[in-house]
Amino acid sequence: MRPPPSRRGLAALAAFAVLLAAAGEAGAAGLVVTAPAAEIPALRERAAAWEQDSGERLTWLAADSEHAEGSADVAIVSLAAAAALGRAGSLRLQPAAAIELPPLLADAVAAGAGTRIGLPLRVELPAVSVDPVLLARAELPAPADADWESVFALARRLANPVGEVHGLCATGIPHATLLRALLHDAGESWAEPYATAAWRTQAARYAKILAQAAPPNAASLSAIEFEALLASRRCAVWLGAAAHIVPGARRLPLPGAAAYANGRMLVAVQLAEPARPAAGAAFVQWLAEELLASADSLALATFEQPGSREWPDEGWLWEEVDAAGEEPLRRHVDGLLPLDEALAEAAAALTAPDG
pLDDT tens digits along 33-61: 888 887 788 788 888 988 998 888 999 98
* Phi-psi category of residue 255: left, alpha or beta, with phi > 0 → left and psi -120 to 50 → alpha: beta
| Residues 339 and 243 reside in one and the same domain | yes
| Residues 240 and 267 reside in one and the same domain | no
Confidence band of 293 (pLDDT split at 50, 70, 90): low
| Residues 63 and 212 reside in one and the same domain | no
Closest by CA to 102, choosing from 241, 239, 267, 253, is: 267
pTM for this prediction: 0.57
| Residues 219 and 345 reside in one and the same domain | yes
Residue 308, domain member (yes or no): no
* 110-123: average pLDDT: 57
Domain that holds residue 67: 5-122+262-298
Closest by CA to 135, choosing from 153, 154, 162, is: 154
Q: Are 315 and 298 in contact (CB under 8 A)?
A: no
The residue type found at 137 is R
Residue 32, domain member (yes or no): yes
| Residues 52 and 117 reside in one and the same domain | yes
Residue 177, domain member (yes or no): yes
Confidence at residue 120, expressed as pLDDT on a 0 to 100 scale = 60
Distances (CA, A) of 217 to 153, 167, 173: 21, 14, 10
* 128-137: average pLDDT: 88
| Residues 272 and 225 reside in one and the same domain | no
| Residues 158 and 273 reside in one and the same domain | no
* 80-87: average pLDDT: 68
| Residues 282 and 177 reside in one and the same domain | no
Residue 71, domain member (yes or no): yes
| Residues 335 and 211 reside in one and the same domain | yes
Residue 65, domain member (yes or no): yes
Q: Please tell me the total count of domains within the chain.
A: 2
Residue 247, domain member (yes or no): yes
Residue 304, domain member (yes or no): no
Residue 305, domain member (yes or no): no
* CATH of residue 331: 3.40.190.10
Q: Name the 3-class secondary structure at 16.
A: helix
